[in-house]
């Protein structure tokens, strides 16, 4: 859970950009990557260069981000297989499509990793609160992110206790043990949910997240963000 740890990092150029604008830019970037035609390698290259520049400007550890890429392996396998078969057949996807998925999915993942590093999950969620004011779903996301840390820690303690006692020989029993742990985790989570609910009510919670001070978005920042979005749109539209 290294993404959520409190990182003490040197301020970089990226920190001069409003978090809300950074979130907007990453969304525009990911959308552009997803919309490029297959095999538009010049444009893929331009966007990749832009991403690399952001990593350098933000002094984001590239190695840390690259370690997230294996998440994509099963899908690459599937796409590769499909492409290989299609290349023998007459219809379906070819090499260009396959490579575009490979490159595009990786770039998109790296852009999201960048956002998880700077501005980071908490500021990202705050930006979402700004864009979707009063949204119940965003309130839910913010609280979920807070309690993932707590409940994952609880799950890890249970897993450690189980693994220290070894696994039953039969797969069926192993599944049953895992299921019981999940059930136990549910009961504990339910109790925690009740206590959290009490603590929130005790401080006057009425079901709506109280709105804090909303920092106005500076127009220079907004203009820069919109320009970036326009540039992304242009990359997609202009061949």
Partner 1 sequence: MHMPDRVLTPEVWATLDVASVGLVGGAVYKTRQRLEPRDAPLMAVMAAFIFAAQMVNFPVALGVSGHLIGATLAAVLLGIGPAVLIMTAVLVIQALVFQDGGLMALGANVFNLALVAPVVGYLVYGTVLRHARGPASPQVAAFLGAWLSVVATAAVAGIQLVLSGYAAIAIIPGILLWHLAIGIGEGLITVAALQLVWKAKPEMAPISGEAEPPRIGRTTSVVGLLAVASVLALALSPLASPSPDGLERVAHDAGLAEEFEHEPILPGALPDYTTPGVEGEAASTAIAGVIGVLLVLIPLAAVVWLITWGKGQEEETAQDAA
Partner 2 sequence: MPVLEVESLEYKYPTGVSALGGVSLAIEPGERVALLGPNGAGKSTLILHLNGILLCQQGEVRVDGDRVEKRNLAEVRRKVGLVFPNPDDQLFMATVAEDVAFGPRNMGLDEDEVDRRVGRALEAVGLPGFEERMPYHLSTGEKKRASIATVLVMEPDVMVLDEPAAGLDPRGRKGLIELLKGLPCALLVATHDLAMAREVCSRVLILDGGKLAADGPVDDVLADTELLLEHGLA
Cβ–Cβ < 8 Å for 50, 33: no
Query: Of 149, 161, 175, 182, which lies in the binding site for partner 2, with binding defined by CB under 8 A?
Result: 149
Q: Return the one option of partner 1, partner 2, none that residue 171 interacts with (CB less than 5 to 8 A, by type).
A: partner 1
Q: Given the complex with partner 2, which of 84 and 131 has the nearer CB atom?
A: 131
> CA separation (Å) from 228 to 22, 26, 86, 200, 222?
10, 10, 37, 40, 10
Q: Given the complex with partner 1, which of 17 and 105 has the nearer CB atom?
A: 105
176 scored as a contact of partner 2 (CB under 8 A): no
Q: What's the rounded Cα separation, in Å, for the pair 174 and 167?
A: 7
**Min separation Cβ 97 and partner 1, Å:** 7
Where do we find the tokens 């990202």?
124
Q: What's the rounded Cα separation, in Å, for the pair 53 and 63?
A: 15
Query: Of 47, 105, 115, 125, which lies in the binding site for partner 2, with binding defined by CB under 8 A?
Result: 125
Of 50-58, 76-84, 146-154, 221-229: span binding partner 2 (CB under 8 A)? 146-154
147 scored as a contact of partner 2 (CB under 8 A): yes
The tokens describing 26, both together, are 């990453």
Of 56-64, 82-90, 176-184, 210-218: span binding partner 2 (CB under 8 A)? 210-218
Residues 50-89 that bind partner 2 (CB under 8 A): none
Residue 211: how many CB atoms within 10 A of its CB?
Answer: 9
The residues, any chain, with a CB within 8 Å of residue 233's CB and separated by 6 or more, are: 28, 32
Q: Return the one option of partner 2, partner 1, none that residue 203 interacts with (CB less than 5 to 8 A, by type).
A: partner 2
Give me the phi and psi of 222, to 5 degrees please.
Answer: -60, -45
Helices within the chain (DSSP H only): 19-35, 41-57, 62-66, 73-88, 95-117, 121-131, 136-163, 171-202, 219-237
Q: Return the one option of partner 2, partner 1, none that residue 211 interacts with (CB less than 5 to 8 A, by type).
A: partner 2
**Min separation Cβ 106 and partner 2, Å:** 30
Q: Given the complex with partner 2, which of 96 and 154 has the nearer CB atom?
A: 154
Point out which residues bind partner 2 (CB under 8 A). 5-6, 122, 125-126, 142-143, 145-147, 149-150, 192, 195-196, 198-206, 210-213
């Amino acid at each position: 859970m290294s993404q959520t740890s409190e990182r003490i990092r040197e301020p970089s150029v990226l920190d001069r950009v409003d978090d809300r604008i950074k979130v907007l830019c990453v969304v525009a970037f990911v959308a552009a990557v997803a919309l490029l035609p297959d095999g538009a390698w010049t444009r893929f290259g331009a966007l990749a260069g832009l991403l690399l520049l952001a990593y350098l400007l933000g002094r984001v550890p590239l190695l840390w981000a690259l370690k997230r890429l294996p998440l994509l392996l099963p899908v690459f396998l599937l796409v590769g297989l499909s492409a290989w078969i299609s290349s023998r057949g007459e219809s379906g996807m070819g090499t260009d499509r396959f490579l575009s998925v490979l490159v595009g999915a990786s770039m998109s993942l790296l852009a999201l990793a960048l956002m998880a590093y700077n501005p980071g999950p908490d500021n990202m969620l705050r930006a979402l609160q700004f864009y979707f004011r009063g949204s119940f779903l965003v309130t839910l996301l913010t609280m979920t992110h807070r309690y993932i840390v707590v409940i994952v820690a609880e799950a890890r303690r249970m897993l450690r206790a189980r693994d220290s006692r070894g696994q039953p020989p039969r797969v069926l029993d192993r599944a049953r043990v895992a299921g019981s742990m999940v059930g136990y985790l549910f009961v504990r989570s339910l109790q925690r949910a009740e206590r959290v609910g009490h603590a929130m009510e005790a401080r006057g919670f009425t079901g709506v997240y109280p709105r804090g001070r909303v920092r106005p978005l500076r127009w220079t920042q907004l203009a820069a963000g919109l320009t970036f979005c326009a540039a992304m749109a242009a990359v997609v539209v202009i061949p």
